[in-house]
Chain A
Amino acid sequence: NAGVMQNPRHLVRRRGQEARLRCSPMKGHSHVYWYRQLPEEGLKFMVYLQKENIIDESGMPKERFSAEFPKEGPSILRIQQVVRGDSAAYFCASSLRQGDNSPLHFGNGTRLTVT
């Protein structure tokens, strides 16, 4: 199955700990996006990356959140010093190219719970 792979599926962290969420895009896709879904809400854009570059991080909180998509390996969304409000489902998506006729393909998400 060459779909978007996210791990872990579930992650529990205590307040103050760090959370690392990983995403491997579909084979051949070089565009990666991270979205967050809070309970009972829609998907909120966080960041758009291409290999080794952050293209758009307008949806990222200014502090504690960072993302990378290295030349080799998965994309990582890192949340430092987690707080209860970070509890959400985090979805990664990838696309073949930018622009028309290139929809996003989503992984099954990582559900982060901060206790």
Chain B
Amino acid sequence: DQQVKQNSPSLSVQEGRISILNCDYTNSMFDYFLWYKKYPAEGPTFLISISSIKDKNEDGRFTVFLNKSAKHLSLHIVPSQPGDSAVYFCAAARSADGQNFVFGPGTRLSVLP
């Protein structure tokens, strides 16, 4: 049973345009969410997080939006750059239980020059 879903396995975007990566979760007890970027043969790199008390968090070109009622979050990257090409993982946890993060299966983003 997948508690965290990323329904698009891949996404292609033109350089300079916006990339929108989506993530859905089923466990309403999750209250802390993160996005990671992963290049081949490297570990995931933390990008941005959001807690359930907020609905938006922004860091430079990266913005995460959280819609608690829809159990949906999204990562916006604008403008997209070729170096953003990687696999993006969404992760969720219930912070009161510790940090047993549940990861989605990932979305492979390709930014075309």
Residues of A within 8 A of B (CB): 4, 6, 31, 33, 35, 41-45, 48, 55-56, 58-59, 91, 93, 95, 98-109
B99 at the interface (CB under 8 A from A): yes
- In the complex, whether B44 has a CB less than 8 A from a CB of chain A is yes
B106 to A, closest residue via Cβ: A42
CB pair B98–A98 under 8 Å, yes or no, is yes
**Given A42-B105, A42-B106, A91-B43: A101 in contact with B51 (beta carbons within 8 A):** yes
Does residue B70 face the partner (Cβ distance < 8 Å to A)?
Answer: no
Chain B positions within 8 Å of A106 at CB level: 36, 43-46
In the bound complex, residues from chain A placing their C-beta under 8 Å from that of B34 are: 103-104
Flag B65-80 by CB within 8 Å of A: 1 or 0 each: 0000000000000000
B5-26 vs A: 1/0 string, CB under 8 Å?
Answer: 0000000000000000000000
A98's nearest neighbour on chain B, judged by CB, is B98
Residue of A nearest to B53 (CB): A100
Give Cα A105–Cα B46 distance, bound, in whole angstroms. Answer: 7
What is the interface size of chain B, counting residues whose CB is below 8 A from a CB of the partner?
26
By a CB distance below 8 angstroms, the chain B residues around A102 are 99
Task: Assess whether B98 is in contact with A55, with CB atoms less than 8 Å apart.
Answer: yes
- CB-CB < 8 A to A93: which residues of B? 43
User: When the two chains form the complex, which single residue of B45, B99, B104, B105 contacts A48, counting CB atoms closer than 8 Å?
Assistant: B99
Residues on the B chain within 8 Å of A55, using CB: 98
CB distance from A22 to the nearest CB of B (A): 15
Q: Is the CB of A100 within 8 A of B46?
A: no
Contact A43 B41 (CB under 8 A): no
Q: Say yes or no for B101: interface residue by CB 8 A criterion.
A: yes
CA distance A108 to B104 in the complex (A): 19
Bound Cα distance from A29 to B100, whole angstroms: 16
Q: How far is the CB of A105 from chain B (nearest CB, A)?
A: 6
Task: Pick the contact of B99: A42, A43, A99 (CB < 8 A).
Answer: A99
- Cα–Cα, bound, A114→B91 (Å): 29
